[in-house]
């Protein structure tokens, strides 16, 4: 399904033109392939790094970090006094993230939080220049509401799986976004992504666009 939405030729072209991975990212990609672990992939990772540089990011907060793939891309764009907050409910994955970040020389930029990201963000005052939403799809809107006031003016909120995923039905999502009536029942994950997109698109202080790479990322720029 993903290759039908974003052709592999387009993804390969984006990987060739965008920021290039290093040996740590290559190793993480190999782990993801071997385990079938869902990361954003190098073409989207490059965009995450690029967007962080564009807004001169100092602080990044992630809703869902896995073993640190996206956090590592972000960290490569941060200044020496920057911070990326990783959140993860799986302790083993968070330990792997620590190892990768340390081996890549960016561990001093990372804060590691074990537990629910929506609960964790309450303990942080902000502001955050970049926020990545990549937790449970049916909780995307909840994540946005929890962090909205902590996003710096000029900052961005990025949501992964904005078009598709193994648990997101693109045809149903497209029908909802276009105001149509999707066939059959819409599962909570697909509806969760739709409700998130509807929420950020209607927010007068954010401007949202879709980058059709990977499984689609929604980029919402805080304009006020």
Collapsed DSSP state (helix, strand, coil) of residue 221: strand
d(CA 111, CA 61): 9
Query: Which pLDDT score is estimated for 112?
Result: 98
* pLDDT for residue 146 is more than 90: yes
The alpha helices in the chain, defined as continuous H runs, are 2-5, 8-17, 23-35, 41-54, 69-75, 91-103, 117-120, 140-147, 170-177, 188-201
2-222: CATH architecture:
3-Layer(aba) Sandwich (3.40)
Q: What is the mean pLDDT of the chain?
A: 94
Mean pLDDT value of segment 121-130: 95
Mean pLDDT value of segment 162-176: 89
d(CA 2, CA 216): 9
Kindly state the tokens that stand for 165.
């995923």
Neighbours of 175 (CB within 10 A): 17
21-58 pLDDT, tens digit per residue, is: 999 999 999 999 999 999 999 999 999 999 999 999 99
Whether the link from the prior residue into 127 is cis, omega within 30° of 0, is yes
Q: What are the DSSP calls for 169-195, one per residue?
A: -HHHHHHHHTT---SSPPPHHHHHHHH
- Please report, rounded to a whole number, the percentage of residues in the chain having pLDDT higher than 90: 83
> Do residues 125 and 150 lie in contact, with contact meaning Cβ atoms separated by under 8 Å?
yes
Mean pLDDT value of segment 91-111: 98
Q: Residue 222 phi/psi, 5° resolution?
A: -80, 115
């Amino acid at each position: 399904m993903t290759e039908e939405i974003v052709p592999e030729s387009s993804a390969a072209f984006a990987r060739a033109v965008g920021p290039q991975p290093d040996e740590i990212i290559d190793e993480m990609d190999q782990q993801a392939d071997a385990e079938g672990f869902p990361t954003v992939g190098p073409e989207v990772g490059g965009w995450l790094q690029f967007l962080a540089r564009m807004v001169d990011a100092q602080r990044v907060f992630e809703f869902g970090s896995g073993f640190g793939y996206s956090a590592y891309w972000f960290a490569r764009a941060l200044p020496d006094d920057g911070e990326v907050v990783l959140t993860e409910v799986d302790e083993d994955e968070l330990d792997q993230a620590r190892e990768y970040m340390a081996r890549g020389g960016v561990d001093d930029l990372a804060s590691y939080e074990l537990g629910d990201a929506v609960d964790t963000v309450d303990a942080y005052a902000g502001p955050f220049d970049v926020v990545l939403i990549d937790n449970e799809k049916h909780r995307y809107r909840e994540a946005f509401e929890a962090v909205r006031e902590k996003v710096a003016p000029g900052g961005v909120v990025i949501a992964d799986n904005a078009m598709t995923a193994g648990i997101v039905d693109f045809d149903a999502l497209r029908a909802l976004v276009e105001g149509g009536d999707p066939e059959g029942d819409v599962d909570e994950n697909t509806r969760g992504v739709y409700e998130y997109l509807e929420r950020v698109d209607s927010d007068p202080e954010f401007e949202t666009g879709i980058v059709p790479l990977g499984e689609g990322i929604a980029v919402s720029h805080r304009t006020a």
